Amino acid sequence: MQIVVISDTHGRYDMLKKALEMHADAALAIHCGDGQFDTERWLAEHPEWADRLIRVRGNCDFDRSIPLQETVALPFGHRALVLHGHTLMHGDFQQNLIDRAKDENADLVLFGHLHARIDRTVQGVHLFNPGSAAQPRDQFPPGYGLIDIMESGILTSHGNLFRSPFDDMP
């Protein structure tokens, strides 16, 4: 099962559209917040995605019908906790994510808010942030994430929405 993960589109509908069109065969798409209007537009233009686009509310989203977090059952016994992360930005943020995941019996946390790519496993919980599709705050271009759920485990990767000058280097 392949999942497209995107976050922090902040009005850059073109970025959401590009990522989802590149991976139109993905089983799920997950938006980790700060993209309320982008996801609403995508769903209005692509109603066939209604059952496979999961979205959560970020600190720049205002529709209270969008949940702050979702827990998603995945194949092979995996569970993903999806949230933006802004409500856990106190004390030890990473530990807050891990504790929330353990409360939800999740082994994968998909989150945004930091506008920076993260891909690490801590205390048996895989923390994955796709970075920002619009306004990255790390050294990477705007991007998104891909997750492949397989019987042998979880494979994660990041993709760029703009080409980097380094893409053509040997």
Domains of the chain: 2-164 (3.60.21.10)
Could you tell me what percent of the chain has a pLDDT over 90? 95
3-state DSSP assignment of residue 75: helix
The per-residue pLDDT for 57 is 98
Asked whether residue 128 carries a pLDDT value surpassing 80, the answer given is yes
With residue 101 as reference, give the H or E element that holds it. helix 93-103
Asked whether residue 168 carries a pLDDT value surpassing 70, the answer given is no
The per-residue pLDDT for 170 is 55
The per-residue pLDDT for 59 is 98
Q: What is the pLDDT of residues 60-107, one digit of tens each?
A: 999 999 999 999 999 999 999 999 999 999 999 999 999 999 999 999
Q: Where are the beta strands (DSSP E) in 34-113?
A: 53-55, 69-73, 79-83, 108-110
